[in-house]
Amino acid sequence: MLTVESRPLTAAGHLEIGGCDAVALAAEYGTPLYVLDEGRIRERCRTWRQAFESRYPSVDVEYAGKAFLCLAMARLVDEEGLNLDVASAGELYTALQAGFPPARLVLHGNNKSRLELEMAVGAGVGRIVVDNLAELDLLAGVAATLPAAGRPPQEVLIRVIPGVDPHTHRRIRTGQVDTKFGLSLTSGAALDAVRQAVGTPGLLFTGIHGHVGSNLHDATAHLQALEAMLDFAVAIRDETGLNVEELNLGGGLGVPYLPGESVLPVDRFAAALTEALVEGLAVRHLPQPRLLLEPGRAIVAEAGVTLYTVGAIKDVPVPEAPGTRRYVAVDGGMSDNPRPQLYDAVYTAFLANRAGETPDTEVRIAGKHCETDVLIGSVAVPDPRPGDLLAVPVTGAYTYAMASNYNRLPRPAVVFARDGAARLVVRRETLEDLIRNDA
Amino acid sequence: MLTVESRPLTAAGHLEIGGCDAVALAAEYGTPLYVLDEGRIRERCRTWRQAFESRYPSVDVEYAGKAFLCLAMARLVDEEGLNLDVASAGELYTALQAGFPPARLVLHGNNKSRLELEMAVGAGVGRIVVDNLAELDLLAGVAATLPAAGRPPQEVLIRVIPGVDPHTHRRIRTGQVDTKFGLSLTSGAALDAVRQAVGTPGLLFTGIHGHVGSNLHDATAHLQALEAMLDFAVAIRDETGLNVEELNLGGGLGVPYLPGESVLPVDRFAAALTEALVEGLAVRHLPQPRLLLEPGRAIVAEAGVTLYTVGAIKDVPVPEAPGTRRYVAVDGGMSDNPRPQLYDAVYTAFLANRAGETPDTEVRIAGKHCETDVLIGSVAVPDPRPGDLLAVPVTGAYTYAMASNYNRLPRPAVVFARDGAARLVVRRETLEDLIRNDA
């Protein structure tokens, strides 16, 4: 299985992904191309479920659709028995069009519109995570008709600010005190929201949600947030007499993007969280709530490889040793993967058509945009030639999801590869698509 | 006219843009909405032409389509008599579909594909700016059939690395020595390319191109690049006996994004460049080439306003004085304007529906994405309420052009407003659009 540390090869020395020859995939579907190892995604879904379900009696693992979503992905998540976390009308629409059971959907968002709330309540979305008091008012209006319609009340969780500062890129921190997400524990706003939710006809308060940030390498921040949330559960019990029935710890576990990078395996992550949870509940004399988790990146990132065709190669004199830099340009760039520009994200790469050769040449990988869109600052590959196929692994998350048409580049196709067979799950955009909405 | 310093109001105290009431535009077309003052764009086109044409005998101003392009924009650029700079098959396709005269198109790119070159040569694109030696070989193959077809040879310019380090964000520097763009003057690569172009049937070498970077506030870097390029023109004359007939100084002049920000007016920019050019030519005994310029941002940025609807507002306790931060969430964010995330770009904002009121409340503007997508870190507005219309000026460039569907948000509509009338130039994406290419 392809990982950032190792890669399976075909007899021809090509990268193999999902049992398919990457060179054949590129020939069939063109480049740039997002290839996802479908078996790997499914394996990650099962690993997550198993890691938590084997340790705690009541768990829902919810895939965070923002990382990568399309109809096929929603169906896969359904088949693997995970819930699906959606954060906009568009994500909700995609899930519903895929036939995802609404009761297993969770609606997120710091600024849900009335339309989004109506759409969610109308569809029968299982849970809505309420971010703020204004939203609670809005939702109360939307859900007010449920009892008269003979429908059960809308389950809601209250999103709180755990007040934990995780060590990750500032753009993907969310758990710190100064954040747009959720309600303050210290100011009393979160408790006000719980009281209000409990007293609102059409709403059923079931629990609390906290998310500390993204791409974290260990459980430290999660464990801190857990304690704050358990303390809040005590406050809720003391103030309202109600027990928190659902405890949603959000997502945030990272993946290794580079060889040698160390990220806590999900099994140890689950052990740490469930042990602390059981102990924290016992100490506080709280009953066991249902535990909810929302991995996105950790499900899908490592399953993805982006394939590019190498184009222009040039040696540019630079002041630093060795005096020359070899620029290798590919046929994509920041439009299909903005993460290097957005987060200084680092990736490795190799040649998919010469995957067994020794990486003896230090190069810089650049995109084809009218911008200094360095995809990889420095990476060793076998001396590349125009027409070579460059593979960038660990690109399954936040690539297609964040892709743009900058410089009017059509967005690449997405292919699922599994057991030697490939299927197109998102078609490549055409030039015609670029002006489809022009008047 | 709306500028970052001043804004015209309707009798109702609403923002007026292109003679239209911004509140009425938002009601008709929805939010988020990109509104561009069409008269302002046209005025900028004329100002650029006038500034250079009044000072130098032979000038082409070429609009850099990467900043903002759609069918309507290409037609506007044509009507104003500017050339159009395209940097991909998609930009070229858009221009051709708009009926833009191919002879006034310029094709750019650091990694043009054979397909792009075939498309450009086939369409009769006026100029191709060759970035590297491999591209020159590729283009030679594509253009080889032109003479036999009775067509004139393809005009080419050679892109050089001016070796100038402009003071701008590192992602939009391009003129420095260590860059993916162009050919080195010092290594002899640029001169090799000229020799090769001159000796290639089907190609007509006409000149050289250099671009130093984007959003520069004065002409310093351009003037340095100009000297380097004139020295290179001497080298070309000495080596080949040919005169550089076209000198393309690229784009790069910035705009003020914030009140009080000082950017050299185009008139003074033109004066500085043309004076230095005339003197630099005289000193070197060079004949006057045609001068080409490629403004993008400077044409379109200030004409654009993005309108958002204010949603959730919350006061969050923070450690810093005054102890609370007011978060104001809008219905868009990094998907419609990634520049704050990409370049730490700063913007101001005001309430379009209460544009005459005193901005007495310091707030942070956040987007609606599942990410810490702060649109504006701190700005004073009249105490905002849900439903208010927030206007972010100077968003005409690199917003729609770089927009994504992150969190599956449909991309906003684009409206041109002029003389009190508005017309839709790009329709808002629908939820159906989001799964149009899903298999």
- Least trusted range by pLDDT, from A33-37, A291-295, B308-312, B315-319: B315-319
HEC string of chain B equals CCCCCCCCECCCCCEEECCEEHHHHHHHHCCCEEEEEHHHHHHHHHHHHHHHHCCCCCEEEEEEHHHCCCHHHHHHHHHCCCEEEECCHHHHHHHHHCCCCHHHEEECCCCCCHHHHHHHHHHCCCEEEECCHHHHHHHHHHHCCCCCCCCCCEEEEEEEECCCCCCCCHHHECCCCCCCCCEECCCCHHHHHHHHHHCCCCEEEEEEECCCECCECCCHHHHHHHHHHHHHHHHHHHHHCCCCCEEECCCCECCCCCCCCCCCCHHHHHHHHHHHHHHHHHHHCCCCCEEEECCCHHHHCCCEEEEEEEEEEEEEECCCCCCEEEEEEECCCCCCCCHHHHHCCCCCCEEHHHCCCCCCEEEEEECCCCCCCEEEEEEEECCCCCCCEEEEECCCCCCHHHCECHHHCCCCEEEEEECCEEEEEECCCCHHHHCCCEC
Instruction: Report in angstroms the alpha-carbon separations of B295 from A88, B224, B260.
Output: 37, 18, 22
Set of chain A residues whose Cβ sits within 8 Å of the Cβ of B320? 178
Q: Out of B180, B315, B331, whose CB is closest to A111?
A: B331
With CA atoms as reference, report the closest residue to B295 among B108, B62, B116: B62
pLDDT number for residue A394: 98
A361-366 and A374-381 strand pairing: antiparallel
Contact of A417 with B418, CB cutoff 8 Å = no
Give the mean model confidence (pLDDT) for residues B308-331.
Answer: 94
Q: Rounded to the nearest 10 degrees, what angle do helices B220-240 and B189-198 cross at?
A: 50
Does the pLDDT at position B347 exceed 80? yes
**Cα A264 → chain centroid:** 17
Q: Rounded to the nearest 5 degrees, what angle is found at the Cα of B353, between the Cα atoms of B347 and B357?
A: 80
User: Token digits for A87?
Assistant: 């954060």
With CA atoms as reference, report the closest residue to A200 among A241, A263, A156: A156
Does the pLDDT at position B308 exceed 80? yes
| Model confidence pLDDT, tens digit, residues B1-42 | 777 778 899 999 999 999 999 999 999 999 999 999 999 999
Chain B touched by A31 (CB under 8 Å): no
Set of chain A residues whose Cβ sits within 8 Å of the Cβ of B297? none
Between residues B170 and B213, the one the model is more confident about: B213
d(CA A377, CA A360): 16
Q: Write the Ramachandran bin of A50: left for phi over 0, alpha for psi from -120 to 50, otherwise beta.
A: alpha
Contact of B143 with B134, CB cutoff 8 Å = no
Strand partners, A156: A128, A205
Chain A touched by B176 (CB under 8 Å): no
pLDDT number for residue B167: 72
Does the pLDDT at position B114 exceed 80? yes
Set of chain A residues whose Cβ sits within 8 Å of the Cβ of B431? 89-90, 93
Identify the closest residue of chain A to B309 by CA–CA distance: A113
Q: Out of A69, A90, A131, whose CB is closest to B409?
A: A90
With CA atoms as reference, report the closest residue to B93 among B115, B62, B67, B63: B115
Q: Write the Ramachandran bin of A139: left for phi over 0, alpha for psi from -120 to 50, otherwise beta.
A: alpha
Residues in chain B, total:
439
Does the pLDDT at position B175 exceed 80? no
* pLDDT band at A337; cut points 50, 70, 90: very high
Q: Out of A89, A180, A314, whose CB is closest to B132?
A: A314
Contact of B73 with B401, CB cutoff 8 Å = no
* Record: contact B438-A406, CB cut-off 8 A: no
Identify the closest residue of chain B to A251 by CA–CA distance: B370
- Percent of chain A residues topping a pLDDT of 70: 100
Q: Which of B370, B427, B436 to mutate to test the interface with A (most CBs of A within 10 A)?
A: B370
Burial (CB count <10 Å: 0-12, 13-18, 19+), residue B177: middle
pLDDT number for residue A275: 98
Set of chain A residues whose Cβ sits within 8 Å of the Cβ of B438? 70-72, 94, 425-427
Residue from A20, A45, A70, A370 carrying the catalytic annotation: A370
Name the minimum distance, in Å, from the CA of B287 to any CA of chain A. 31
* Record: contact A408-B133, CB cut-off 8 A: no
* Record: contact B87-A372, CB cut-off 8 A: no
Element spanning A41, H or E: helix A38-53
Give the mean model confidence (pLDDT) for residues A212-233.
Answer: 95
pLDDT number for residue A4: 74
Give the mean model confidence (pLDDT) for residues A50-68.
Answer: 98
Chain B touched by A186 (CB under 8 Å): yes
Q: Out of A180, A374, A401, whose CB is closest to B372?
A: A180
* Record: contact A189-B314, CB cut-off 8 A: yes
- Percent of chain A residues topping a pLDDT of 90: 92
Contact of B355 with B17, CB cutoff 8 Å = no
Task: List the 331-350 stretch of B: residues with Cβ below 8 A of A.
Answer: 331, 338, 341-342
* pLDDT band at B299; cut points 50, 70, 90: very high
Burial (CB count <10 Å: 0-12, 13-18, 19+), residue A244: buried
Q: Is the sign of the CA dihedral A134, B363, B4, B16 positive or negative?
A: positive
Q: How many CA atoms lie within 13 A of B125 on its CB side?
A: 30
d(CA B97, CA B99): 5
Give the mean model confidence (pLDDT) for residues A220-240.
Answer: 96
Return the biggest CA–CA distance within chain A.
76
Known catalytic residue at A20: no
Name the minimum distance, in Å, from the CA of B3 to any CA of chain A. 26
* Record: contact B431-A93, CB cut-off 8 A: yes
Q: Rounded to the nearest 5 degrees, what angle is found at the Cα of B251, between the Cα atoms of B78 and A341?
A: 110
Does the pLDDT at position B64 exceed 80? yes
DSSP characters over A270-284: HHHHHHHHHHHHHHH
DSSP characters over A105-137: EEE--SS--HHHHHHHHHHT-SEEEE-SHHHHH
Does the pLDDT at position A68 exceed 80? yes
* Record: contact B313-A134, CB cut-off 8 A: yes
Chain B touched by A258 (CB under 8 Å): no
d(CA A271, CA B116): 54
Give the mean model confidence (pLDDT) for residues B169-192.
Answer: 86
| Model confidence pLDDT, tens digit, residues B243-292 | 999 999 999 999 999 999 999 999 999 999 999 999 999 999 999 999 99
Give the mean model confidence (pLDDT) for residues B189-217.
Answer: 95
Does the pLDDT at position B178 exceed 80? yes
Q: Which of B179, B335, B372 to mutate to test the interface with A (most CBs of A within 10 A)?
A: B372
User: Token digits for A256?
Assistant: 């290794």
Q: Which of B408, B416, B424, B435 to mutate to test the interface with A (most CBs of A within 10 A)?
A: B408
pLDDT number for residue A1: 72
pLDDT number for residue B7: 87
Set of chain B residues whose Cβ sits within 8 Å of the Cβ of A435? 70-71, 93-94, 97
What residue ranges in A255-397 does DSSP mark as E strands?
A: 290-293, 304-317, 324-330, 350-351, 361-366, 374-381, 389-393
Average pLDDT in chain B: 96
Name the minimum distance, in Å, from the CA of B279 to any CA of chain A. 30
Q: Which of A110, A168, A375, A433 to mutate to test the interface with B (most CBs of B within 10 A)?
A: A110
Contact of B296 with B65, CB cutoff 8 Å = yes
Set of chain B residues whose Cβ sits within 8 Å of the Cβ of A171? 341, 371-373
* Record: contact B312-A426, CB cut-off 8 A: no
Identify the closest residue of chain A to B186 by CA–CA distance: A317
Strand partners, B107: B86, B128
Residues in chain A, total:
439
Give the mean model confidence (pLDDT) for residues A43-48.
Answer: 98
CB pairs under 8 A between A and B: 262
Average pLDDT in chain A: 96
R_g of chain B, CA atoms, integer Å: 23
Other beta carbons within 10 angstroms of residue A203's beta carbon come to 23
Name the minimum distance, in Å, from the CA of A7 to any CA of chain B. 28
User: Token digits for B79?
Assistant: 């009507």
pLDDT number for residue B2: 75
Chain B touched by A264 (CB under 8 Å): no
Identify the closest residue of chain A to B409 by CA–CA distance: A90
| Model confidence pLDDT, tens digit, residues A393-432 | 999 999 999 999 999 999 999 999 999 999 999 999 999 9
Set of chain B residues whose Cβ sits within 8 Å of the Cβ of A108? 370
pLDDT number for residue B4: 75
What type of residue sits at position B365?
Answer: I
* Record: contact B439-A71, CB cut-off 8 A: yes
- Percent of chain B residues topping a pLDDT of 90: 92
Residue from B20, B45, B70, B370 carrying the catalytic annotation: B370
Task: List the 61-90 stretch of A: residues with Cβ below 8 A of B.
Answer: 64-66, 69-72, 87-90
Name the minimum distance, in Å, from the CA of B320 to any CA of chain A. 10
Give the mean model confidence (pLDDT) for residues A262-276.
Answer: 97
* Record: contact B402-A404, CB cut-off 8 A: yes
pLDDT number for residue B372: 86
With CA atoms as reference, report the closest residue to A119 among A136, A131, A102, A132: A102
pLDDT number for residue A257: 97
Burial (CB count <10 Å: 0-12, 13-18, 19+), residue B20: buried
Chain B touched by A362 (CB under 8 Å): no
* Record: contact B312-A110, CB cut-off 8 A: yes
Does the pLDDT at position B144 exceed 80? yes
* Record: contact B428-A437, CB cut-off 8 A: yes
Instruction: Report in angstroms the alpha-carbon separations of A310 from A31, B134, B182.
Output: 10, 12, 17
Strand partners, A204: A155
* Record: contact B406-A405, CB cut-off 8 A: no
| Model confidence pLDDT, tens digit, residues A131-183 | 999 999 999 999 999 999 999 999 999 999 998 888 777 777 777 888 999 99
pLDDT number for residue B168: 72
Token pair 């292109």 is found at B18
Chain A touched by B378 (CB under 8 Å): no
Torsions phi, psi for A12 (to 5 deg): -80, 0
Q: Out of B178, B186, B329, whose CB is closest to A111?
A: B329
Which domains, and CATH codes, for chain B? Answer: 16-37+301-435 (2.40.37.10), 108-295 (3.20.20.10)
d(CA A68, CA B45): 41
